[in-house]
Amino acid sequence: MFPLEFWIAGVMLISLIIYMLTGGADFGGGVWDLFATGPRAKAQRALITQAISPIWEANHVWLIVIVVLLFVAFPVAFATISTALHIPLTLMLIGIVLRGSAFVFRTYDSQSHITHRRWSRVFAIASSITPVMLGVTLGAVATGTIHSDTPPDFISPWLAPFPFAIGLFTLTLCALLAAVYLTLETEDAALQEDFRLRALIAAVSVGAMAGLSFFLSAEGAPAIRRGLSATPWSGPFHVVTGVVAVWAIWAIWQRQYRLARILVPLQVALIVIGWGIAQYPHIVTPDLTFSNTAAPDAVLFPVLIVVGIGGLLLVPAFGYLYVVFKRRG
Amino acid sequence: MDNLLAARAQMAMSLAFHIIFAAVGMAMPLLMVIAEGLWLKTRDAVYLTLAKQWAKGTAIMFAVGAVSGTVLSFELGLLWPEFMAYAGPIIGMPFSLEGLAFFLEAIFLGIYLYGWERVPRYAHWFAGMMVLIGGTLSGIFVVTANAWMNTPAGFSIVNGQVTDINPIAAMLNPSSFSQALHMCLAAFLAVGFAAAGIHAYLLRRDPGNAFHRKAFAIALSVGGVMALLQPISGDISAKRLAKYQPIKLAAMEGQWETERGAPLRIGGIPDEDAEVTRYAVEIPKALSFLTHFDFNAEIMGLKDVPKENRPPVAIVHIAFQIMVACGMVMLAAGCIGGWLAWRRRSLPTDGWYLRFVTCCAPLGFIAIEAGWTVTEVGRQPWVIYNIMRTADAVTPMPNLVIPFISFTVLYIFLSVIVVILLRRQFFQSLRLESKSVGEDSDVSA
């Protein structure tokens, strides 16, 4: 009933959601390492490290899945994006390299306090830059200024208010996820309070960045704006997302952390889905759609089979990883 | 620096950097699971300490390998968008499978590194096996994609358009088997000898140390076996080249004339202007025999193709000589070690032999770098052999020298840090081992 590329696009959207909820939260952990303050700054950093050590590398692979599916299934879109957005993607990659390396160096280089702090700083700054550049890239794709047939100027599609608003929006989402997860990583009430406060700040920032992004989309990404506001599903969808967001803030406020750990990821997932639907059927607005860049079915069908087999193998493997390291009490 | 050269330099530098970490991430798990398996079998705590010590080194190397691999998957598009727009769908199958295998590797490595006290012993060992399988499979799949660039298959071209894509046929192209086999053996060989060399060095300073004796025994066995197998795999590769990429073979051998009964050249410097290879030791008719089992078989020479379709001959020939020389030295080290061990029924720890193995430590990695130089430079000027030129694949992005320099500086910096950290790990372990093997066994048993 749906063409094969539709299913691939769906798998990519789901992968992006999981990447945000897992890998995004790991970046958010780096943000809170950067902003670790007060008498418990050291304990905050230790908690963040302990929370992400066993899982960040596995979480990171979702990004590779998205890239591979993009170049296999939508090769022209991949070529267009990576040509026009060479600079933000390169900055994102440098962030990815420094984040991962600094994190592992810090773990195995605890010789002196000073070097430890230095790696911490690199890890934290790289963790903060990377999601911004990821968001800038996703925002730039929606601006309608990238064309596959004319050579790009390499700057203007991304160095604009709307892509950077999306970049900061992404950063606040990562920070919110991390803060909420971290409330459940410790039994220490004072540390929980630290991350509760951070979660509240992040939640309010998410609201502000959502509003700003929507405002800027009028000029910066008109096609997305239409998708977000002028279709029959958009009203109810925004209401649901808004209700979940407010409910999540209430749960954090009430210290109902388990509830918050369900609501906040749900909120993030709804935001990503809302963006995905608004973007559909375009992969790079305005010229490239999922259908006009799709590889032939002879390519897509085997890839979907691999995705299916992958799901069967990865769900239990991921489940085991998370049960081993994230089950409490 | 012109843009094409900058793009090629950045790609070459990124691959040269990544492949070290990828090879370690692929092969170290074998040493770890052997050590841990011996611990499970013998309950000798030294093996457990060894597995943990090796796991620390692997953790550092794997993390850098994972992030530099991510860079490469993006660089395919950042530097070669035309190539990816053309080839992405055709070679998508190995890349998709690689993603899956890498996923398993990363998940189980997390369990392996941080799960010593959290999962049952055999589940932990199983996690190590999964890391080994996942890492090896992802290496195989990535090499398969590269093999396709050498011997493109699984599609047809009608009026300049790609049609009839068969992803499975593309994946199982004529070079896949020989290249994947050669790379897998190379990774285990390089890592086996690197580990054996380091422990040989430490053993010489502390001869009675049980930890380094056991480490040396395991690593040397792995490296030695691979050193014996690798020439067979090299022979398979040479025969495949003779059939499918005769120009690459001619460049490797410095063979300019098409002739029957071509000699095997050892050493020598190809002169690309005069179109001769000078100063080489020639073994008459050996090349014809090695590639065709026939002393008088015809070997194609470089002069058969126009100059603009030839790879840079000197680089390819010299890189090939370096690779083979490294392989031969390690083969000798493996044979001598095996013979001594068999004669004496004990580990050969004579001073001269330990010194010899210590010198072998970097050779496997030098051979890997040289081998990839042969296969990549030897394919030039094509990115997809006989289909797309590298010059036609490059991005229109200007000033590529800037990202090239940025990544080079970044990677040099990371290399220095990794070397410092690994050194510290080894010497820390040396200090720890000389006194506390006994204590450690109580904690972990």
Continuous segment of H or E residues that includes residue B389? strand B388-389
Structure confidence by residue, pLDDT tens digits, A34-93: 999 989 999 999 999 999 999 999 999 999 999 999 999 999 999 999 999 999 999 999
Distance between A278 CA and the closest CA of chain B, angstroms: 26
pLDDT for B439: 40
Query: Whole-angstrom Cα distance, residue B21 to residue A100?
Result: 14
pLDDT for B431: 65
Angle at B18 between CA B16 and CA B24, to 5 degrees: 110
pLDDT for B436: 46
Q: What is the mean pLDDT of residues A2-15?
A: 93
Residue A80: closest C-alpha in chain B: B81
Interface of B with A in 38-77 (CB under 8 A): 56, 59-60, 62-64, 66-71, 73-74, 76-77
Which residue from B59, B110, B395 is facing A104, i.e. has the nearest CB?
B59
Which residue from B89, B115, B410 is facing A72, i.e. has the nearest CB?
B89
Interface of A with B in 89-148 (CB under 8 A): 89-90, 93-94, 96-101, 103-105, 107-109, 111
List the structure tokens of B348.
Answer: 């050969």
Angle at A110 between CA A109 and CA A114, to 5 degrees: 100
Mean model confidence pLDDT for chain A: 92
Instruction: Provide the b/e sequence for A138-154 (b: ≥16 CB within 10 Å).
Output: bbbbbbbbbbbeeebeb
Interface test with A, best of B75, B78, B148 (most A CBs within 10 A): B78
**Is A105 close to B421, i.e. CB distance below 8 A?**
yes
pLDDT for B285: 92
Which residue from B70, B97, B424 is facing A64, i.e. has the nearest CB?
B70
Q: Note whether B286 contacts A: Cβ–Cβ < 8 A.
A: no
Structure confidence by residue, pLDDT tens digits, A272-285: 999 998 888 888 88
pLDDT at A109 over 90: no
pLDDT at A149 over 80: no
**Is A299 close to B90, i.e. CB distance below 8 A?**
yes
Query: Whole-angstrom Cα distance, residue A132 to residue B383?
Result: 34
Distance between B285 CA and the closest CA of chain A, angstroms: 45
Query: Whole-angstrom Cα distance, residue B55 to residue B32?
Result: 7
Q: Which residue positions in chain B have pLDDT lower than 70?
A: 429-445
Q: Which residues pair with B163 in a beta bridge?
A: B156
Ranking A224-238, A308-322, B216-230, B378-392 by mean pLDDT, the lowest is A224-238
List the structure tokens of B78.
Answer: 């950042």
Angle at A109 between CA A105 and CA A114, to 5 degrees: 105
Distance between A86 CA and the closest CA of chain B, angstroms: 6
Model ipTM value? 0.93
Q: Name residues whose C-beta falls within 8 Å of residue A256's C-beta, 6 or more positions apart in sequence.
A: none
Closest CA to A158 of A171, A150, A167, A149: A167
**Is A314 close to B104, i.e. CB distance below 8 A?**
yes
List the structure tokens of B397.
Answer: 């992005």
List the structure tokens of A139.
Answer: 């925002």
Interface test with B, best of A85, A307, A315, A324 (most B CBs within 10 A): A324
Interface test with B, best of A26, A49, A61 (most B CBs within 10 A): A61
pLDDT for B437: 45
Strand B259-260 and strand B161-163: the pairing is unpaired
Interface of A with B in 139-178 (CB under 8 A): 151, 154
Q: Note whether A81 contacts B: Cβ–Cβ < 8 A.
A: yes
pLDDT at A329 over 50: no
Q: Note whether B171 contacts A: Cβ–Cβ < 8 A.
A: no
**Is A55 close to B110, i.e. CB distance below 8 A?**
yes
What residues in B contact A298, CB-CB < 8 Å? 164-167
Length of chain B equals: 445
Residue A311: closest C-alpha in chain B: B100
Strand B269-271 and strand B276-278: the pairing is antiparallel
pLDDT for B443: 35
Residue B112: closest C-alpha in chain A: A54
What residues in A contact B11, CB-CB < 8 Å? none
Interface test with A, best of B70, B164, B407 (most A CBs within 10 A): B70
pLDDT for A230: 76
Interface test with B, best of A90, A115, A130 (most B CBs within 10 A): A90
List the structure tokens of B1.
Answer: 């620096």
What residues in B contact A107, CB-CB < 8 Å? 59
What residues in B contact A76, CB-CB < 8 Å? 85
Q: Note whether A49 contacts B: Cβ–Cβ < 8 A.
A: no
Q: Note whether A312 contacts B: Cβ–Cβ < 8 A.
A: no
Distance between A130 CA and the closest CA of chain B, angstroms: 13
Environment class of residue B194 by beta-carbon count within 10 Å: exposed (0-12), middle (13-18) or buried (19+)? buried
Query: Whole-angstrom Cα distance, residue B245 to residue B223?
Result: 30
Q: What count of other Cβ atoms lies within 10 Å of the Cβ of residue A324?
A: 18
**Is A65 close to B86, i.e. CB distance below 8 A?**
no
Which residue from A82, A93, A151 is facing B70, i.e. has the nearest CB?
A93
Closest CA to B417 of A125, A62, A111, A80: A111
Q: What is the pTM of this model?
A: 0.93
List the structure tokens of B218.
Answer: 């395991």
Q: Note whether B89 contacts A: Cβ–Cβ < 8 A.
A: yes
Cβ distance B141 to B91 under 8 Å? no
pLDDT for B444: 35
Cβ distance B361 to B370 under 8 Å? no
Distance between A204 CA and the closest CA of chain B, angstroms: 32
pLDDT at A176 over 90: yes
Distance between A23 CA and the closest CA of chain B, angstroms: 13
Q: Note whether A60 contacts B: Cβ–Cβ < 8 A.
A: yes
Cβ distance B120 to B133 under 8 Å? no
pLDDT for B424: 83
pLDDT at A236 over 50: yes
pLDDT at A99 over 60: yes
Residue B66: closest C-alpha in chain A: A57
Q: Note whether B229 contacts A: Cβ–Cβ < 8 A.
A: no
Q: Name residues whose C-beta falls within 8 Å of residue B445's C-beta, 6 or more positions apart in sequence.
A: B43, B45, B48
Distance between A91 CA and the closest CA of chain B, angstroms: 10
pLDDT for A111: 66
Residue A119: closest C-alpha in chain B: B417
Residue A147: pLDDT band (50, 70, 90) is confident
pLDDT for B433: 58
Q: What is the mean pLDDT of residues A91-112?
A: 89
Please state the separation of Cα B208 from the chain's center in Å.
33
